[in-house]
Chain A
């Protein structure tokens, strides 16, 4: 299924369309229901998802059963007629709760238990256009032509889907061929077979149905589009930002970033190495953060990437970095918790954890990205902040952003600067006051610079030697905390919070991947008579208190709605703590699936027009 998504995305990007595709999958490798949910736009880069879909292509019976209600009236369905007689009660991989829920919905809608019952319901009751393809027959043809085994031919099931979709969307065969070549680069035979099969399917579909879902002419102004996941984009940002050491322990949904960096370890341009990144797989997350801090002490820009369970292990070392004014970046991909939670599903339930993790008090910066563009710049800024302010920086992302694939225009380099603050790669020889108290941010000679320095997790003096002297304690404590005030005064507010729209009917307050759905909901609601705004929070410490406070002043409490992927409305609590403004209206989702635009629109209307205080969203399987 992923292959289909990748090829379609390449073909669409080649012709200048914007695409976002969310990957929903279980915590297993093969056999459970996974799917790709795409949004295509001719006029902008889409950043949100919604239902119902206009076009669905399914490889198996379970998908037909699961997504019957996700297809819009008058939409299109492509499926394998070979599974027509399969019953919903005969799908072992389907979770019992899902099956029971679907069965009761089927009973209500008068749908029987087989795939053909579902298809005929869609056709008759929902005017869905059905394209049934006998996959076996198609693949048999391919087998004969290329002398393939049954197993080899099975791999081309997804070709049938993306080709039929391309046909309906009116994509030209060249663009589909481009997508195939890109996906299977260097594998000539597979490319040839895919091209053969897809052109045949496209032609058949065209002949029979035309191109009923033909996309309008794209107007997105981009000569090049990056196709990448959020994980990839963060990796790209780190490469540009001068990362030289990345440690990690494998964990979903963070590991893809480190794998991406490993593939680009040698920053080779025209055969010449500009530098190299050391990607280090450790024995656990404690070693991951400890080695990243160590590399930072030695002068390498360093980071580690993890998710909730991994960060839980990193917490003690986080405090060490705070105490020792050591730069380190933790790229934190949130997934559903607590404990193992939902490893492959999205969440925003770790914000408060990152703000308060580790004992004692020390400065840290916590920032969160809401889309690929923000993620790219934030990855660079996080490393700048870590070195400029000599503290740990936690860069929050969520699984939605991490594992979705986007088409992204090339970023602008105008804004990008590397800021290493008072890092000294060369220093005078001899003993050096690493924690010189004369300024909150002291010069930081790295290990090997010529200076001799000491560091200690104990409270220490200017040299880094242990002292329990109460006067030194006050001075060092305040020196460290003062850096947060400096960061607050220096980091531009535009990088910490942003207000979109200015309507006074309502104000959505959100963060992370909520951004895309919130911005689209603003437009939809405007068309429906509600003029609102979206306050997008990006930095939680130091918090942009004055700006956020000013924005909130413009709204009655009953019109300010927190939109978050957690149950506590965590960002709203941070808002209250910093500004004193209590958010009392909530739209929350904690199923692990993204917030879809249509459910967000509906929830806003229920709150603003219906007087409801809290809506819990639940759309999506």
Chain B
């Protein structure tokens, strides 16, 4: 059952530039939350640093606004301590793919059940428009004194290579389309990337709304497009990854948005932990009792002797 959009709004004023793509992303998130009827108290939005990382303050759900590049590891700790929470990461391209790229790769390796929403505008907005890791070589947005001489990283390709099991791209100004992708990403069990193309109206004069208009096309409208791994055979996984990879490399006159790759069959990190430690799935570590009513530890002297028996020598004098 859907709930009202108002449930997910705060009264904090958004200090983004008028026309910023971030507004579209927040609107899509709020709509997705409402349609999924997410409980704001059981939802946590974790962000890094930058314009986009202010997102949590504008959404009525738990918000953890962390450090530049570190949203993923903070989110990881939150999710692993209490897997019943819905955890979403918001960050910019500089945040997630520059300073935080190592964590981006690591979360894919683990397939932790979180959703990463990448605000991708090719610039560092809050520091006034430097080149981000998604700006291409020799491109020169207006605030750059000289063209960019570093190559771009491809977020879709990197996510696939890192092991993300849901990889998609949306467009900040197509709010309803983006909302559907975000809903699917949240519902997916495993690490999900939503790469959101987002015009920066102030610093990016190359990738503008005009640029995207007419170039973007929806993958789901392509005949025969099916990004989902159904049978989980090695051949099928390879084929789906190869097709997603081809689409990931498309840029220029035709730019795909939509879902590139989904593999629901890879066990999540949480499942892997529970396999080794069955109690984990029943009782999140964050919710387990550690002491009795009187404050005495759950592990008393007798429990201690049993747990650490092999470290204890009974003295036997002769």
CA distance A247 to B304 in the complex (A): 22
Contact across chains for A448 and B84 when beta carbons are under 8 A apart: yes
Contact across chains for A457 and B67 when beta carbons are under 8 A apart: yes
Query: Which residues does chain B contribute within 8 Å of A268, judged by CB atoms?
Result: 307
- One of B73, B299, B313 near A239 (C-beta < 8 A): B299
CA distance A274 to B314 in the complex (A): 24
Query: Which residues does chain B contribute within 8 Å of A182, judged by CB atoms?
Result: 310, 313
CA distance A292 to B63 in the complex (A): 17
- One of A275, A302, A418, A451 near B41 (C-beta < 8 A): A451
Contact across chains for A278 and B80 when beta carbons are under 8 A apart: yes
Q: Is A493 in contact with chain B by the CB < 8 A criterion?
A: no
Q: Is B291 in contact with chain A by the CB < 8 A criterion?
A: yes
Residue of B nearest to A171 (CB): B318
CA distance A247 to B285 in the complex (A): 13
Query: Which residues does chain A contribute within 8 Å of B286, judged by CB atoms?
Result: 244-245, 295, 298-300, 446, 448
The minimal Cβ–Cβ distance linking B231 to chain A, given in whole angstroms, is 32
Interface residues of B in 265-318 (CB under 8 A from A): 273, 276-280, 283-291, 295-301, 303-308, 310-318
Query: Which residues does chain B contribute within 8 Å of A275, judged by CB atoms?
Result: 279, 283, 285, 288-290, 298
Residue of B nearest to A235 (CB): B308
Query: Which residues does chain A contribute within 8 Å of B303, judged by CB atoms?
Result: 267, 269, 274
Contact across chains for B67 and A244 when beta carbons are under 8 A apart: no
Q: Is A574 in contact with chain B by the CB < 8 A criterion?
A: no
1/0 contact string of A270-313 vs chain B (CB within 8 Å): 10011111101011101110111111111111100000000000
Q: Is B232 in contact with chain A by the CB < 8 A criterion?
A: no
CA distance A266 to B275 in the complex (A): 12
Given A291-B73, A299-B82, A454-B65, A224 and B295 contact (CB-CB distance below 8 Å)? no
- One of A226, A273, A418 near B311 (C-beta < 8 A): A226
Given A241-B297, A301-B290, A419-B295, A293 and B77 contact (CB-CB distance below 8 Å)? yes
Residue of A nearest to B99 (CB): A286
Q: Is B40 in contact with chain A by the CB < 8 A criterion?
A: yes
Q: Is A443 in contact with chain B by the CB < 8 A criterion?
A: no
Interface residues of A in 234-270 (CB under 8 A from B): 236, 239-242, 244-245, 247, 264-270
Contact across chains for A297 and B78 when beta carbons are under 8 A apart: yes
- One of A269, A276, A298, A320 near B280 (C-beta < 8 A): A276
Pick out which of these stretches binds chain A: B53-61, B127-135, B153-161, B233-241. B53-61
CA distance A278 to B65 in the complex (A): 24
The minimal Cβ–Cβ distance linking A59 to chain B, given in whole angstroms, is 25
Q: Is A16 in contact with chain B by the CB < 8 A criterion?
A: yes
Contact across chains for A269 and B277 when beta carbons are under 8 A apart: no
Query: Which residues does chain B contribute within 8 Å of A131, judged by CB atoms?
Result: none
Interface residues of B in 75-120 (CB under 8 A from A): 75-82, 84-85, 102-103, 105-106
The minimal Cβ–Cβ distance linking B107 to chain A, given in whole angstroms, is 9
Interface residues of A in 1-21 (CB under 8 A from B): 10, 13-16
Most chain B beta-carbon contacts within 10 A, residue among A264, A273, A288:
A273
How many A-B Cβ pairs are below 8 Å? 265
Given A283-B102, A450-B41, A418 and B273 contact (CB-CB distance below 8 Å)? no
Residue of A nearest to B76 (CB): A291
Contact across chains for A302 and B77 when beta carbons are under 8 A apart: yes
Contact across chains for B313 and A225 when beta carbons are under 8 A apart: yes
Contact across chains for B297 and A416 when beta carbons are under 8 A apart: yes
CA distance A457 to B308 in the complex (A): 40
CA distance A264 to B311 in the complex (A): 12
The minimal Cβ–Cβ distance linking A253 to chain B, given in whole angstroms, is 19
Contact across chains for B290 and A236 when beta carbons are under 8 A apart: no
CA distance A277 to B288 in the complex (A): 10
Query: Which residues does chain A contribute within 8 Å of B42, judged by CB atoms?
Result: 448
Residue of A nearest to B85 (CB): A448
The minimal Cβ–Cβ distance linking B44 to chain A, given in whole angstroms, is 5
Q: Is A36 in contact with chain B by the CB < 8 A criterion?
A: no
Q: Is B200 in contact with chain A by the CB < 8 A criterion?
A: no
Given A15-B317, A448-B41, A452-B40, A316 and B280 contact (CB-CB distance below 8 Å)? no
Contact across chains for B41 and A452 when beta carbons are under 8 A apart: yes
Query: Which residues does chain B contribute within 8 Å of A595, judged by CB atoms?
Result: none
Pick out which of these stretches binds chain B: A139-147, A458-466, A555-563. A458-466
CA distance A264 to B309 in the complex (A): 11
CA distance A226 to B311 in the complex (A): 5
Q: Is A456 in contact with chain B by the CB < 8 A criterion?
A: yes
CA distance A241 to B76 in the complex (A): 23
Contact across chains for B317 and A218 when beta carbons are under 8 A apart: yes
Query: Which residues does chain A contribute within 8 Å of B298, judged by CB atoms?
Result: 242, 274-275
Q: Is B70 in contact with chain A by the CB < 8 A criterion?
A: yes
- One of A316, A425, A464 near B63 (C-beta < 8 A): A464
Contact across chains for A454 and B56 when beta carbons are under 8 A apart: yes
Contact across chains for A14 and B313 when beta carbons are under 8 A apart: yes
Q: Is A44 in contact with chain B by the CB < 8 A criterion?
A: no
CA distance A457 to B40 in the complex (A): 21
Query: Which residues does chain B contribute within 8 Å of A287, judged by CB atoms?
Result: 70, 72-73, 76, 102-103, 106
Contact across chains for A278 and B64 when beta carbons are under 8 A apart: no
Q: Is B74 in contact with chain A by the CB < 8 A criterion?
A: yes
Q: Is B62 in contact with chain A by the CB < 8 A criterion?
A: yes
Query: Which residues does chain B contribute within 8 Å of A449, judged by CB atoms?
Result: 41
Query: Which residues does chain A contribute within 8 Å of B61, judged by CB atoms?
Result: 452
The minimal Cβ–Cβ distance linking B142 to chain A, given in whole angstroms, is 28
Contact across chains for A226 and B290 when beta carbons are under 8 A apart: no
The minimal Cβ–Cβ distance linking B70 to chain A, given in whole angstroms, is 5
Contact across chains for A448 and B82 when beta carbons are under 8 A apart: yes
Contact across chains for A276 and B277 when beta carbons are under 8 A apart: yes
CA distance A417 to B298 in the complex (A): 10
Contact across chains for A417 and B288 when beta carbons are under 8 A apart: no
Given A275-B290, A291-B77, A448-B41, A227 and B308 contact (CB-CB distance below 8 Å)? no
The minimal Cβ–Cβ distance linking B43 to chain A, given in whole angstroms, is 9
Residue of B nearest to A454 (CB): B63
Query: Which residues does chain A contribute within 8 Å of B306, judged by CB atoms?
Result: 269-270
Contact across chains for A317 and B314 when beta carbons are under 8 A apart: no
- One of A174, A264, A302 near B81 (C-beta < 8 A): A302
Contact across chains for B62 and A453 when beta carbons are under 8 A apart: yes
CA distance A288 to B298 in the complex (A): 26
Contact across chains for A299 and B315 when beta carbons are under 8 A apart: no
Contact across chains for A266 and B62 when beta carbons are under 8 A apart: no
Given A245-B81, A418-B296, A294 and B41 contact (CB-CB distance below 8 Å)? no
Residue of B nearest to A10 (CB): B313
Contact across chains for A416 and B296 when beta carbons are under 8 A apart: yes
Q: Is A410 in contact with chain B by the CB < 8 A criterion?
A: yes
Given A291-B77, A416-B296, A13 and B65 contact (CB-CB distance below 8 Å)? no
Q: Is A431 in contact with chain B by the CB < 8 A criterion?
A: yes
The minimal Cβ–Cβ distance linking B87 to chain A, given in whole angstroms, is 9
Q: Is B262 in contact with chain A by the CB < 8 A criterion?
A: no
Query: Which residues does chain A contribute within 8 Å of B280, judged by CB atoms?
Result: 276, 278
Given A185-B310, A236-B304, A283-B102, A290 and B296 contact (CB-CB distance below 8 Å)? no
Given A245-B77, A267-B299, A294-B81, A240 and B304 contact (CB-CB distance below 8 Å)? yes
Query: Which residues does chain A contribute within 8 Å of B277, judged by CB atoms?
Result: 265-266, 276, 278
Contact across chains for B318 and A417 when beta carbons are under 8 A apart: no
Given A13-B313, A268-B307, A450-B41, A297 and B64 contact (CB-CB distance below 8 Å)? yes
Across the A-B interface, give the 9 residue pairs with the lowest CB-CB distance, nearest first: A294-B77, A242-B290, A291-B77, A418-B291, A290-B73, A287-B73, A295-B81, A283-B106, A299-B286
30 CB contacts below 8 A, A to B, read A15-B316, A182-B313, A239-B299, A244-B288, A245-B80, A265-B277, A267-B303, A269-B306, A275-B285, A275-B288, A278-B280, A280-B76, A283-B102, A287-B102, A290-B73, A291-B80, A294-B78, A302-B81, A316-B67, A320-B67, A418-B291, A429-B41, A448-B287, A452-B40, A452-B62, A454-B62, A464-B63, A465-B10, A466-B54, A466-B57
Given contacts A224-B314, A269-B307, A278-B280, 4 further A-B contacts (CB under 8 A): A227-B312, A293-B74, A294-B78, A466-B54
| Chain B interfacial positions (CB closer than 8 Å to A) | 10, 12, 40-42, 44, 46, 49, 54, 56-57, 60-67, 70, 72-82, 84-85, 102-103, 105-106, 273, 276-280, 283-291, 295-301, 303-308, 310-318
